[in-house]
Amino acid sequence: MASAIARWEKFRFNPPPSRQQLEAVAKVVGVDANRLEQMLPPAGVGMNLEPIRLCAGCYVESPCHRIEWQFKVTQGCQHHHLSLLSECPNCGARFKVPALWVDGWCHRCFLPFGEMVQHQKKI
């Protein structure tokens, strides 16, 4: 069980989680296994495990990590047409695992993600 959750948090979907693993995670997080399966990257799409990236503009609108930010093919936010951030523009701390973003700010200097938008470049 712990290994299934760790794979999910660190984007290690190679090989993709089995149905049994999805159902185990579903029980823990209270989300249907079919819904979890829909949240996985499409077949054949590679993932960047590090650095963790985000669009601060998207995060302000809906405070959750979007898996597409970690796709190798993703160059920036298609919604806001901004580059993705991989570290705090104020102190340079790299972003931690998204599950730890409960407060919505840099874990080192406490700069809110919403204030990071002004540091994203147009793409």
What are the extents of the domains in the chain? 2-38, 45-123
* pLDDT in the model for residue 10: 64
Q: What is the pTM of this model?
A: 0.73
* pLDDT in the model for residue 92: 97
What is the tens place of the pLDDT at every residue in 39-57? Answer: 888 888 888 888 999 999 9
In the chain, which stretches have pLDDT less than 50? Answer: none
Per residue, what are the HEC states of the chain? CHHHHHHHHCCCCCCCCCHHHHHHHHHHHCCCHHHHHHCCCCCCCCECCCCCCECHHHHHHCCCCCHHHHECCCCCECCCCECCECECCCCCCECCCHHHCCCCECCCCCCEHHHHHHHCCEC
* pLDDT in the model for residue 112: 94
